[in-house]
Amino acid sequence: MYGFEIERPTSVADAVAALGADEAQALGGGQTLIPTLKQRLAMPSKLVALSGIAELRYVRREGDVLKIGGGTTHGTVAREAAGNFPGLAALAAKIGDPAVRNRGTIGGSLANNDPSACYPAAALACGATIVTNSREIAADDYFQGMFTTALEEGEIVTEVRFPIPEKAAYTKFEQPASRFALVGVFVAKYADGVRVAVTGASNDGVFRWSAAEEALSGSFSADAVAGLAAPDGSDMISDLHGSGAYRAHLVGVMTKRAVVAAG
């Protein structure tokens, strides 16, 4: 690792001020950023650790919305969202391993927008709102391609608001060594329709599979998906774990399984 200073503010306001420094970067749980720093792929002059900010850690329900603080760990979401939004809790419970879940945060995952990460699928499928220290961003505008988001330099994800679906499930075809999604599909059914978001598959990062949304909004059943042609695989991620065509096939399979799991 290159050398840098580390600061540990206890409020969002102090963190925002500290991030104003040249080449300063936020540190969430560090479960992505620390390995990146070790590979010398990032060279911040200062890390601003968010782990000391108690006001960023909560899971609470307000009406039909589940609000999660940006610094909340995956482990906490797995435990505390289980009653109000079991589909989301189950997703969090399958990220990485217990030690990763005890440090990694929802804000860090959404800020990173890894094309194979789990939370982006939930946020997009639920039409979540990503709240930062300065504004609210709709999930449909937030994800802008792999590792790219609408966040500005120094902007902190402070809260994620999930409209609670009537039914939802996430199914992940795991890349067994990392447990990231080779393909992961989040299906969310609301009174006004169904949304389907796919992670792990596309070179453009998480995306909505509109053909499946239409079919499932008509009839929420695995059969409704069975008749659909798989999305185009020619543009999908092709690597040693699977070809684009294989991933495209998995999108259909995992969508069906998610619908069955959602019940």
Partner 1 sequence: MTEVTMTVNGKSVSRAVRGNELLVEFLREQLRLTGTHVGCDTSQCGACNVHVNGEVVKACTMFAAEAQGAEVTTIEGMANADGSLSTIQQAFQDHHGLQCGFCTPGMVMSAAALLKDNPKPSEAEVRHHLQGNICRCTGYHNIVKAIMAASGQDVGAIAAE
Ligand X SMILES: Cc1cc2nc3c(=O)[nH]c(=O)nc-3n(C[C@H](O)[C@H](O)[C@H](O)COP(=O)(O)OP(=O)(O)OC[C@H]3O[C@@H](n4cnc5c(N)ncnc54)[C@H](O)[C@@H]3O)c2cc1C
Each residue 61-80 as x (binds partner 1 by CB under 8 A) or -, in order, gives --------------x-----
Residues contacting ligand X: total by CB under 6 A:
30
Q: Is there binding between residue 34 and partner 1 (CB under 8 A)?
A: yes
Residue 6, binding choice from ligand X, partner 1, none, Cβ under 5 to 8 Å by partner class: partner 1
Nearest CA among 76, 14, 2, 73 for reference residue 43: 2
Nearest CA among 38, 42, 58, 46 for reference residue 8: 46
Q: In the structure encoding, which two tokens stand for residue 124, read together?
A: 């997009």
Q: Which stretch binds ligand X (CB under 6 A): 6-14, 30-38, 162-170, 236-244?
A: 30-38
- State which of residues 77, 118, 137, 206 lies at the interface with ligand X (CB under 6 A): 118
Q: Which is nearer to ligand X, 143 or 180 (CB)?
A: 180
Q: Which stretch binds partner 1 (CB under 8 A): 34-42, 53-61, 209-217, 254-262?
A: 34-42
Q: Is there binding between residue 175 and partner 1 (CB under 8 A)?
A: no
Q: 101 to each of 32, 98, 169, 243, how far by Cα in Å?
A: 12, 5, 19, 29
Q: Which is nearer to partner 1, 19 or 188 (CB)?
A: 19
Q: Which stretch binds ligand X (CB under 6 A): 173-181, 211-219, 230-238, 241-249?
A: 173-181
Nearest CA among 50, 51, 69 for reference residue 59: 69
- State which of residues 24, 68, 81, 111 lies at the interface with ligand X (CB under 6 A): 111
Q: Is there binding between residue 97 and partner 1 (CB under 8 A)?
A: yes
The SS3 of residue 27 is strand
The maximal CA–CA distance of the chain, rounded, in angstroms, is: 56
Contact 150, 88 (CB under 8 A): no
Q: Which stretch binds partner 1 (CB under 8 A): 100-108, 146-154, 191-199, 226-234?
A: 100-108
Q: CA 166 to CA 29: how far, in whole Å? A: 31
Question: What are φ and ψ of residue 93, in 5° steps?
Answer: -70, -15
Q: Is there binding between residue 32 and ligand X (CB under 6 A)?
A: yes
Q: Is there binding between residue 233 and ligand X (CB under 6 A)?
A: no
Q: In the structure encoding, which two tokens stand for residue 247, read together?
A: 């991933």
- State which of residues 69, 75, 87, 108 lies at the interface with ligand X (CB under 6 A): 108
H or E element at residue 121: helix 119-125
Contact 104, 120 (CB under 8 A): no
Binding site for partner 1 (CB under 8 A): 1-6, 8, 27, 30-31, 34-35, 37-38, 46-47, 49, 51-52, 75, 96-100, 102-103, 177-179
